[in-house]
Amino acid sequence: MLAPKPKAYSYLRFSTPEQKQGDSGRRQTTLAREYAEKHGLDLDAQLAFNDEGVSAYRGKNSETGKLGEFLGAVRTGIVPPGAYLLVESLDRISRQAARKAQRVLEDICEEGVTVVTLTDGRAYTKELLDSDPTALLMSLLIFIRANEESTMKSRRLKAAWTGKRQRASSEPITAKCPGWVRLNKATGKWALIPERAEVVQRVFRESLEGRGQHTITQGLNRDAIPVFGKAGHWHRSYVAKLLSNPAVMGTYVPHSLEWLDGKRARKALDPIQGYFPAVVDSETYQRVQALRMDAASPQRGRHAGKDLRNIFGGLLRCSECGGAMVMVNKGKRSQPYVVCGKAKTGAGCGYRAVRYERLEYALLNHAPQLLAIIPGGGSEEGEEVQAELDRAEAALDAADDLLAQLGEDYRNTRLRTLLTQIQEVEQERDALKAKRDELVERRDATVGPFLEQRASEALSAVTAEPLDRKRANVALRTVLASVTVNPRGGLMVLRWKHGGEAQHLFSFPEE
């Protein structure tokens, strides 16, 4: 009776879907079949372990892919002991750093599996790796080469993207665009879709009028405005994204795909100004961002659509606990009061009411002193934001210079220690970019060139006759982060978004 043939399993991997349509899969399959026939192996055609469109550069195939499943099948007995794993070459198993790639090979061999590389006919076993330093060194060198090839490929792709960015002013660098823009095939330029541009402008206009996102969304659906995408109706989340999307100013923020802790993540790159045609100007965009930053709209939920009675809506804070203060009106004959929200619901803090008209009277009658001069415009806090931004940009320039020098050194010497250092500096540079972008956004929204104009508009709104409380509230929320009320001392403190504050003794508390 003939002994059963050893079982063999083919492992195929290619990193892009396009390779499936090409020769990669057929070539690997043919090599596995020919090797099995020549060496008397029983190639299992039913149990396939194929990673199609999966890269081995990040180790995804061995962690969550079919190669990982093969190891699991070996450990659970589905694949019998003494089996063969047929691969085209070692770089099909892993293109990670050599240390990690070697560990993948050793893990497979440790389970009693013979790994055969079909291009050169080499067979790797646990015994061979333990006894033959040459075989161990050969596999390590192959992994080093594979990782360097993938690393250089990644760098070439990044360089190609950099070239596209440099041409962004004259040609589109991607087919992706916001819903209110399309590509004019005749000119090769981006163009606004007029009816959709009007919708975007409407959303920003209503936001500056003090309407909340829910109210804006309801209005779009009520008026049967066609949505931009495939959704059946407008959603508040889309309106929120629209209001925070710099593409409305014409700014395109490209992203790259990075791997963090084994997970794929999108990372924002430097924005490209003027890439798309602008649908709203930068002043309008920054005004909306300032409006959304700290104080929530008082006209949302069940209050949406109602007349605004509280000029401080969304701004009032309790001096004792820092919580929001709310207006209390017990009837037509009673005077409205403001009180700490926690105290009103019995969640803590003392119940100390302040008559609302005293707060409003104090603001309206002392507005020129409180709003005409911008407190904190040259304050230490405001200066620190700019100083921190300057430091971040200087550190970013230094990182770019160091990266350029390390790249040149690596091209000349090919030292792997330099490659590791390059990767570390790249991570540091990415963190600096994220910090820089955060500081720029904060500065533009609160300390930008339109700040004085916003303060002037807030002054005009609160001194206008007749008083439009809704307009005044919107204007105040673009420049103020909060209005803190101290019922004990009769003190009102206006805190500016850009730093600094203004104080006023409005009255003594009600007995």
Work out the pLDDT band at 17, boundaries 50, 70, 90.
very low
Residue 87's pLDDT is: 86
Instruction: Please indicate whether residue 461 or residue 163 has the higher confidence score (pLDDT).
Output: 461
Using alpha carbons, select from 249, 278, 250, 254 the residue that is nearest to residue 266.
254
Beta carbons of 89 and 14 less than 8 angstroms apart:
no
Please state, in angstroms and rounded to a whole number, the distance separating the CA atoms of residues 181 and 279: 9
Band (336; pLDDT cuts 50, 70, 90): confident
Please identify which residue in the block is written with the tokens 């204007």.
Answer: 475
Structure tokens at 316: 């009032």
More confident residue, 90 or 449: 90
Per-residue CA distances from 445 to 156, 291, 293 (Å):
37, 9, 8
List the chain domain ranges: 7-154, 181-293, 306-374+447-511, 380-442
pLDDT at 373: 55
Residue of 399 and 486 predicted with greater confidence: 486
Same fold, 7-154 and 181-293: no
User: Contact, 207 vs 291, CB < 8 A?
Assistant: yes
Q: Between 334 and 322, whose confidence is greater? A: 322
| pLDDT band at residue 197 using 50, 70 and 90 as cut-offs | very high
What does the pLDDT read at residue 304? 47
- State the distance between the two ends of the chain, measured CA to CA, in whole angstroms: 107
Q: Which CATH architecture has domain 7-154?
A: 3-Layer(aba) Sandwich (3.40)
Least confident residue range of 57-71, 191-205, 230-244, 353-367: 57-71
Q: Which residue has the higher pLDDT, 363 or 398?
A: 363
For 170, counting Cβ atoms within 10 Å of its Cβ (0-12 exposed, 13-18 middle, 19+ buried), the class is exposed
pLDDT value at 53 more than 60: no
CATH 3.30.420.40 is the classification of domain 181-293: no
Q: What values do phi and psi take at 319, rounded to 5?
A: -70, -20
pLDDT value for 54: 47
386 vs 204, residue with greater confidence: 204
Contacts of 156 (CB under 8 A, 6+ apart): none
Q: Which pLDDT score, from 0 to 100, does residue 194 have?
A: 93
* Residue 88, both tokens: 């085209």
CA angle 258, 262, 268 (to 5 degrees): 20
Comparing 212 with 34, the larger pLDDT belongs to 34
Residues 6+ apart with CB under 8 A from 60: 54, 262
Average pLDDT in the 290-316 region? Answer: 65
CA distance 129 to 137: 9
pLDDT in the model for residue 195: 94
Average pLDDT taken over every residue of the chain? 76
> What is the rounded CA–CA span in Å between residue 310 and residue 297?
12
CB atoms within 10 A of CB 165: 16
For residues 492-498, give the mean pLDDT: 84
What is Dmax (Cα atoms) for the chain?
108
pLDDT at position 378: 45
Q: How many CA atoms lie within 13 A of 353 on its CB side?
A: 14
**What value does the mean pLDDT take over residues 61-74?**
66
446 contacts: CB under 8 Å, gap ≥ 6? 290, 293, 497, 498
pLDDT, one tens digit per residue, over 221-278 is 999 999 988 888 898 888 988 998 889 998 888 766 554 444 555 666 777 888 889 9
Tell me which of 219 and 253 has the higher pLDDT: 219
What mean pLDDT is predicted for residues 391-412?
70
Mean pLDDT of 272-291: 84
Identify the pLDDT of residue 266: 62
Tens of pLDDT along 305-314? 455 788 888 8
Give the angle 144-66-108 at the CA atoms, nearest 5°.
55
Band the pLDDT of 377: cuts 50, 70, 90: very low
pTM: 0.46
pLDDT at 278: 92
Residues 6+ apart with CB under 8 A from 12: 25, 28, 29, 32, 48, 49, 50, 51, 52, 88, 92
Calculate the CA dihedral of residues 99, 101, 105, 111 and round it to 10 degrees: 80
Which are the contacts of 299, defined by CB distance < 8 A and separation ≥ 6? 210, 211, 212, 215, 305, 306, 308, 313, 470
The pLDDT of 2-11, averaged and rounded, is: 81
Q: Is the pLDDT of residue 19 over 60?
A: no
pLDDT tens for each residue of 415-453: 667 667 777 777 787 788 777 777 766 666 555 556 777
